[in-house]
Structure 1
Amino acid sequence: MAATSEGDGAVLHAAKLVRDSVPPIHPGGRPVIASVAAAAAGIRLLTGRGTGLGLLATAATAAFFRAPTRVPPPRVGAVLAPADGTVALIEEVVPPPELDLPREPVSRVSVFLSVLDVHVQRIPMHGRIRSVRYVPGVFLSADLDKASTDNERNALVLETQTGHALGVVQIAGLLARRIVCDVRAGDEVAAGETYGLIRFGSRVDTYLPPGVAPEVAVGQRTIGGETPLAVLSRAVS
């Protein structure tokens, strides 16, 4: 009996390890996954073929919408990357009108997401959402500089607990056709929590407060909710 109990415990432990290693799926991706699975099942019923390809397509779609758990670093004042990807651009620019920030040049850090990256977006710091604004546009390649002003995008301003204002903009890419944003003006948010999703290739711009320099470099990989883009060293009075 003891041996049986130990065996059952080992199986349960192994099952837990497997379950913990599979990241959850963002709710915004579930309808897409269901549609792909239904299409695959329909092809299988009509043709008697395509089981393997259908399973592969469904698994690949589910992987695209994964939302792995992230642990923000215990670094006071850290502005965390809002997305997984590669730092494509770091420039001094005037924030776009939709952010309603002061019209003075600030550092903008642009993270480009390939189709293989995690596509959920994360809150960069503890704070409160001041505003959210959707702007329609075109679907240029997200790694182009003018994608920040021409592409479909969703902009939010975060009032941080340090008293600063951060601008974060989700930008649709060449293949993206849907931006999901789950926060609204007035919401209290925590660093690292997921707040949105861009479907199939995209970019996320972070506008730092005036005088704050980035601590990342062009070409550097970022992990959403964990990689510090910059550090706010003092509170605004």
Structure 2
Amino acid sequence: MKLHKESKGTIIVASIAFAIIAFLAVYFLQEWALFLIIPTLLLYGLVFWFFRVPNREIQDHHENVIAPVDGKVVMIKEVMEEEFIKGKAIQVSIFMSPVNVHICRYPVSGNVVYKKYHPGKYLVAWHEKSSTENERTTLAINSLTNHAVVFRQIAGYVARRIVFNSQEGDTAKAGHEFGFIKFGSRMDIFLPLDTEILCKIGDKTKGGIDVIAKMQE
């Protein structure tokens, strides 16, 4: 199983912690040590599972909006996007649980025209206000269909580290990685009002693969 480059520090800490717990369990609990070691080993294995990098064949897309993350669609609604669009947009929000792949991908192809990091709170990621109050990054792309598409990585109650490698002027390719969020979080995508939404609340998404919307030419 291939692991993401962001896993290195976390796995080192988790390995040290597991070794210490196992040693103490054997030393103090003796024949009862397995009752502590086995659940700790399961948690240790989940760390590796969280940082897995799935092998996915990414296609080229023009008007399609691709799911930027693995997760569950928790919101589809018309909102005011005040930061970049400064007008009405359709917001599609996808929640990532700790067991989802947490690679963040571009939802559309085009050029990156805006990037900003916002410090903030750590409300639970499914809270509606987390989009504007939590720690987050906002990026905007001028799509190949000449639309402004805004998307946000949002840190959650557990997720406290957002990684984003995009810079203004970069070329974005739908489905390709631009960042990572550790341990539970959310991604919001803001689309033009005339976008055809192809997903519904409750849908499970596969990042880089599933088409969640289609923009007009």
TM range (shorter): 0.7 to 0.9
Over 3 Å counting, the alpha-carbon distance change for 1:75 and 1:161 in structure 2 is closer
Matched, 1:61 2:47: yes
The match for 1:82 is 68
Partner Cα distance (2:172, 2:22) in 1: 44
Partner Cα distance (1:196, 1:181) in 2: 4
Partner Cα distance (1:180, 1:201) in 2: 13
- Cα shift at 1:58: 2.8
Partner Cα distance (2:20, 2:170) in 1: 42
The match for 1:28 is 6
Partner Cα distance (2:37, 2:150) in 1: 45
**TM-score when normalising by structure 2:** 0.88
Tell me the amino acid that sits aligned with residue 62 of structure 1. Answer: F
Matched, 1:144 2:133: no
Tell me the amino acid that sits aligned with residue 28 of structure 1. Answer: E
Partner Cα distance (1:209, 1:72) in 2: 24
Q: Could you tell me which of 20, 26, 43 is aligned with 1:42?
A: 20
Structure 1 spans left out of the alignment, 5+ residues: 1-21
1:83 alignment partner, SS class: coil
Give the number of the structure whose alpha-carbon radius of gyration is greater: 1
Select between 67-76 and 188-197 the one with higher mean Cα deviation: 67-76
Check the 8 A contact 1:139/1:151 in 2, yes or no: yes
Tell me the amino acid that sits aligned with residue 215 of structure 1. Answer: L
Matched, 1:184 2:162: no
The match for 1:206 is 189
Q: Trace 1:136-175 onto structure 2 (pairs within 5 A).
A: 136-175=119-158
- Cα shift at 1:29: 2.0
The match for 2:94 is 111
Over 3 Å counting, the alpha-carbon distance change for 1:74 and 1:132 in structure 2 is closer
Check the 8 A contact 1:112/1:203 in 2, yes or no: yes
Give deviations 1:157-185, integer Å, cap 9, x for gaps: 11222222211101111211111112211
Tell me the amino acid that sits aligned with residue 92 of structure 1. Answer: E
- Cα shift at 1:125: 2.1
Partner Cα distance (2:21, 2:99) in 1: 26
Partner Cα distance (1:134, 1:74) in 2: 28
- Cα shift at 1:156: 0.6
- Cα shift at 1:52: 4.4
Check the 8 A contact 1:96/1:149 in 2, yes or no: no
Tell me the amino acid that sits aligned with residue 27 of structure 1. Answer: K
**RMSD of aligned residue pairs (Cα, Å):** 1.9
Considering fraction of residues, name the structure with more strand. 2
**TM-score when normalising by structure 1:** 0.81
Check the 8 A contact 1:37/1:55 in 2, yes or no: no
The match for 2:56 is 70
Check the 8 A contact 1:216/1:230 in 2, yes or no: yes
Tell me the amino acid that sits aligned with residue 126 of structure 1. Answer: S
